Chain A
Amino acid sequence: MTEEIIIAGFGGQGVLSMGKILAYSGVMQNKEVSWMPSYGPEMRGGTANVTVIISDERISSPILNSYDTAIILNQQSMDKFEKTVKPGGLLIYDPNGLTRFPERKDINIYSIEAADEAGKRGLSKIFNMIVLGGFLKLKPLVAPEFLHKGLEKSLPARHHALIPENEKAVALGKELLKAVHLVN
């Protein structure tokens, strides 16, 4: 099993930390993982993206140009990464702020209104965990107990009190996920 994922959005949406929590959960489940961020000028206020690979085997390239899954959280990322999903692959997007929706017919597409729902419930800070929940519903790569451990390892000790809230956000994401287009 190897899952190659790109997570892309604006800086500040928690893209990198979502990837880190996913990767750390993978480590706790004794998988091979890599987490490769885009960094540099792009990092400062612009778009942010991270490639996460979770595998049972040694990971070759941490840098890819096609992915099993793309998690897309803004328009620039949609324009850049929709085309990079492998045929038959998965695209999850948050429609908030998008003006052009995914058009491909050869991939499975889901939407998740995470930003909207997080705003309503005052959960903006853990918006990314709602999205992660949606992804994990479709690709249960890490079991809940390892996600818990991943959160413990990723979050500084002073934020450990917030772990249950993070886990609730993951559960919420599973409910919010909606199929938009399915290949089969």
Chain B
Amino acid sequence: MGELKLMKGNEAVAEAAIRAGCDGYFGYPITPQSEVMEYLMAEKPFERTGMVVLQAESEVAAINMLYGGAGTGKMVMTSSSSPGVSLMQEGISYLAGAELPAVIVNIVRGGPGLGTIQPSQADYFQAVKGGGHGDYKMLVLAPASVQEMCDHVKLAFDKAFEYRTPVMILSDGAIGQMMEKVVLFDQIPRRTDEELIKQCPWASNGRPKTRNHNIITSLDLDPAGQERVNLKLQAKYQMMEKNEVLYEEIQCEDADYLLVAFGLSARICQKALDLARAKGIKVGLFRPITLFPFPAIEVSNVGNRVKGILVVEMNAGQMIEDVKLSVGCKVKIEHYGRFGGIIPSPDEVVKALTQKIIGG
């Protein structure tokens, strides 16, 4: 077993990045995720593994530093929170367009605007539907525990390089700030230059005389060429939908009613499930772990066996659209949400289930 620690979600992200063999972190402070860079600066990964950590002048610069590093084949990561991730949208679109691997962590806080520094899930659409311009998607992971914050960093890097795509870890201020037991995976050595060049023959990191130049760009002024780029991206997203769906089912086998939630909301729903079952209501929980690709078939399979579904989110109703598209209209599907940094309590969820689904 790996090293056992009590860590904040934000710290686990930082430590996991070092251990995954990350080459560079570029970020800009914003609450509630500043511990990521604080941890990295204190931990001196430049001495431990040679990893570069740089505080950028803005989120705009940070995401473009990611683009620069990723374009040379390096393993790069940034983290921010909602307003900062909004600033990064242009860069994320470029990363997707140029097919560059990178990991972006969004420790979501309530919005819109400057909003609040308290946790929220209101950036689901932005993350899952392609928040920047153009037809693109990111693989989006939604950790629900500090352990998953750690494990998803490794997974995100693996998938980013496998698909040459930006991957987002969509978490929230509560998971970022809370501490839990975490089992850390062992240090993976950073790739040597030779290993990097072998893994990323497409990267722009100095042209040996034996090959033509590599160009990293998202520009193709020829419409036919740009359509080919788009078709290639869409094919990649279809592959992800086929192969990368992750989800968790809790007590769905005998469930009469289903809660669907991701991240922190799923944790709250798990408690609500216990409370409801104690009252004799057979409730199950379906937790998407990848938000894109969305576990459409899987949620539909479970959803069509129950009498009603309550989608619980810390937003005004975003993932519910994907649940409805997946499950169809034969089953009653309602939403329960709290906003602006308010976290719903397990009791509230049971009450909402009773009122909106069972009683309604």
A/B contact in complex, CB under 8 angstroms: yes
Using a CB–CB cutoff of 8 Å, the interface residues on chain A facing chain B are: 20, 23-24, 26-28, 30-37, 39-41, 59-66, 153-154
Q: How far is the CB of A11 from chain B (nearest CB, A)?
A: 15
Asked if A60 and B274 make an inter-chain contact with CB atoms under 8 angstroms apart, the answer reads yes
Q: A34 and B347: CB pair below 8 A? A: no
| Chain B 179-191 interface 0/1 with A at a Cβ cutoff of 8 Å (1 = within) | 1110000000000
Contacts of A41 in B (CB 8 A): 117
Considering only residues 262-277 of chain B, those with a C-beta below 8 Å from chain A are 264, 267-268, 270-274
* Nearest CB in chain B to that of A33: its residue: B181
A31 — which chain B residues lie within 8 A by C-beta?
181
The yes or no answer to B24 lying at the interface (CB within 8 A) is no
Q: Can you show 23 pairs from A to B with CB atoms below 8 A apart?
A: A27-B181, A31-B181, A35-B180, A36-B174, A36-B177, A39-B32, A40-B116, A41-B117, A59-B180, A60-B268, A60-B273, A60-B346, A61-B267, A61-B272, A61-B346, A62-B174, A62-B267, A63-B343, A63-B345, A64-B346, A65-B345, A66-B347, A153-B5
- Chain B's interface size range is 20 to 34
A60 to B278, CA, bound (A): 15
The reply to whether A61 and B270 contact each other, CB–CB distance below 8 Å, is yes
Chain A residues within an 8 Å CB radius of B345: 63-65
- Chain B neighbourhood of A66, CB < 8 A: 347
B268 partner residues in chain A, CB cutoff 8 A: 60-61, 63
* Whole-angstrom distance between the Cβ of A104 and the nearest chain B Cβ: 19
Q: A27-B5, A61-B346 are in contact. Are A35 and B178 (CB under 8 A)?
A: yes
Of the candidates B116, B267, B347, which one forms a contact with A65 in the assembled complex, judged by CB atoms under 8 Å apart?
B347
B6 interface residue (CB < 8 Å to A): yes
**Further 14 A-B residue pairs, CB within 8 A, beyond A34-B179, A36-B177, A154-B6:** A26-B181, A27-B6, A33-B6, A35-B178, A39-B32, A39-B177, A40-B116, A59-B180, A60-B270, A60-B274, A60-B346, A61-B271, A63-B268, A153-B5
Kindly provide the distance from the CB of A57 to the nearest chain B CB, expressed in whole angstroms: 11
Measured in the bound complex, the distance between the Cα atoms of B6 and A154 in whole Å is 9
B118 at the interface (CB under 8 A from A): yes
B4 at interface (Cβ–Cβ under 8 A)?
yes
Q: What is the CB-to-nearest-CB distance from B252 to chain A, in angstroms, rounded to a whole number?
A: 16
Nearest 5 CB-CB pairs, A to B?
A60-B270, A61-B271, A35-B179, A60-B271, A65-B345
